[in-house]
Structure 1
Amino acid sequence: MSRHRTRRPALSGLVTAAVVLLAGSAAGGAYLVGRPPDDAAASVAAVSSASSPPAEAGRSEEPEVDLDAELADALAPLADGADVSVAVLDTESGTGAAYGDEAYDTASIVKVDILAALLLLAQDEGRELNGAEQAYAEAMIRRSDNTSATELLKVIGGEEGLDAANERLGLTTTRAAHAWGLTQTTAADQVRLLEAVSGTDSELSAASRAYLTELMGQVEADQRWGVSAAGSDAVLKNGWMPRTTTGLWDVNSIGRVESGGHTVLVAVLSRGHATKEAGIALVESVAKAAVGVTGAVTPAG
């Protein structure tokens, strides 16, 4: 396998990986009202020839690693025809990998995006969230309450307000929808959102990031599936939604986990599942594979 080491300081350099998972439930679903190896230096030069040039100095003998290719190989036995996409980023090393770059329905993972937009709005207005906004925010993230998401989408200015916030947050392939669960996004953009929530180079203030992360760490026990299978100390948000046109499920999971002493951001998207349970099983398998591939690389340095 050709290998290419990727070490990037931020998601802007991350190649996207998309895995489509479809899942649904009244709470978590959408509101549908709507290199070759480096040349082994000059070991191929003539043996015992005084005129042979010396080995080329400064050339690394360490093979590079193509993580996207390794991820594709790892997912081959798992995907089995499923429509799935994943992106992963090791925040310590900057190592990332991706599989797939298509856009998928967000289902309820968009609730993280909606709250990030609300926090940006409050920052711009120089205020904290009011009592009603806090109640909606906590219900929307911890219980995946749909009514709360609908109300907060109105507060931020609807889909236009969400798109404007996403531009500030560095999302480039996410397009909001009035029926918020049908917002279109990619796995790479969801990792960008996780970077904005978890990192320091963000439009979100430290207090806003801490608040959002705290809520994502407190989702109800029966919703702590998905990327949490790939590590410990997960902060996450899941989305699941049956499509009325097909009866098949979208199942998605985004979040941050600790693995091998590293903090890893993971986004898995999928669709076309016969059941929610089948979607969850695939999402968890894909998340484990993605974190395993990225965590196996020692950063260059």
Structure 2
Amino acid sequence: MNKYFVRRVVASLVLLGLFASIGSIVKYGLLPNADAIAVEKVAVKKVAAEPEDPFKYPALAKYLASRTNKVTAGLYDVNTGQTFLYRPGERHVTASMVKIDILAALLYSAKRSNRLLTSSESRNARVMIQQSDNAAATALWPKIGYSAGLNAFNAKLGFTQTKAVPSWGMEATTPADQLKLLKAIVLPDSLLSADSQKYIQKLMESVVNWQRFGIPTGVPTTAKVGVKNGWYPVRTTGWQVNSAGYVKTDDHFYLAVIMTAHNKNQQYGTNAVNKISQLLWAFQSSR
């Protein structure tokens, strides 16, 4: 049974028991009604005080406040259906994170044409995701119709804050839009076929070790984790380092996107996405 559900049930039973006790106290005149109401309000406040928003989790909020770079992030809790955003609407460059978008668009196009990927497309798709190969992404770019094709696909996903540009990887986006892409890759009732979803997930879960930073950081080795990162020295805003992916265990299932700009070097950005991911897992696993 989901730990999150069990904790909510226990909290509800405790609260009902507390209300019943308060009712008895009032009934037998041990407290005036006004005092009972005050106690009741305090009880409700304490039970509801558990933070729902991971970005308000004290350890994470403190860390985010300490950074000199710009960070925007989002988390979708599959178990509760809740979405949480940090600095919503702030747009950052995707860098190589866009490669899962390119692959999703390619698979959707192939499905619409009632065909399988060619051997060349499959090889390029594999190295584009597992090794973040740029030449492979460039080879697949015309296969989806360049930026116009990607924009058309993203519109079907419900993107509202992203516009692809002629140079793949330089489009500005938000975590909110990227969470929509992850939902299409991972969750049922998707634009993508079940086989296409499994294909992308398999590649995201087998990224080469040195590129498995960000979302997998701090997560148990038994968890199912898919990731695609992006890193690029943007001329105007310094190093852009991003991480997008999903984490699934017996008790927890969430999608997350972390985007960082104005990093003084690549390692500073990598450290940031690692620490944020670690703290997101710490928050989720404590619930």
TM-score by length of 1: 0.76
* Residues 1:156 and 2:144 are matched in the alignment: yes
* Residues 1:117 and 2:105 are matched in the alignment: yes
Q: State the match for 1:175 in structure 2.
A: 163
Greater CA drift, 146-155 or 195-204: 146-155
* Residues 1:225 and 2:213 are matched in the alignment: yes
How big is the alpha-carbon RMSD for the aligned residues of Structure 1 and Structure 2? 3.1
From 69, 81, 85, give the equivalent of 1:94. 81
From 56, 62, 68, give the equivalent of 1:71. 56
Cα displacement (A) at 1:41: 6.5
- Identical pairs, percent: 34
Q: What is the identity, as a one-letter code, of the residue corresponding to 1:242?
A: P
Structure 2: tracts of 5 or more residues without a match: 6-14
TM-score by length of 2: 0.79
| Number of equivalent positions | 258
* Alignment check: 8 A CA contact 2:102 2:140 kept: yes
Cα displacement (A) at 1:243: 1.5
* Alignment check: 8 A CA contact 2:71 2:260 kept: yes
Greater CA drift, 72-81 or 124-133: 72-81
* Alignment check: 8 A CA contact 1:86 1:268 kept: yes
Output aligned runs, 1:1-301, within 5 Å.
Answer: 61=44, 62-63=47-48, 65-68=50-53, 71=56, 73-79=58-64, 80=66, 81-101=68-88, 102-231=90-219, 232-245=223-236, 248-259=238-249, 261-297=251-287
* Alignment check: 8 A CA contact 1:230 1:259 kept: no
Query: CA 1:150–1:257 in structure 2 vs 1: closer, same or farther (change >3 Å)?
Result: same
Q: Which entry has the higher C-alpha Rg, 1 or 2?
A: 2
Cα displacement (A) at 1:147: 1.6
- Secondary structure of 2:216's match? helix
Higher relative contact order (CA 8 A, sep 6+): 1
Query: CA 1:52–1:286 in structure 2 vs 1: closer, same or farther (change >3 Å)?
Result: closer
Q: Which of the two has greater helix per residue?
A: 2
Q: What is the identity, as a one-letter code, of the residue corresponding to 1:166?
A: N
Q: What is the identity, as a one-letter code, of the residue corresponding to 2:206?
A: Q
In the TM superposition, what whole-angstrom CA distance separates every residue of 1:227-268 from its partner, at most 9, and x where no partner exists? 11042332110100011245x210000111235731221111
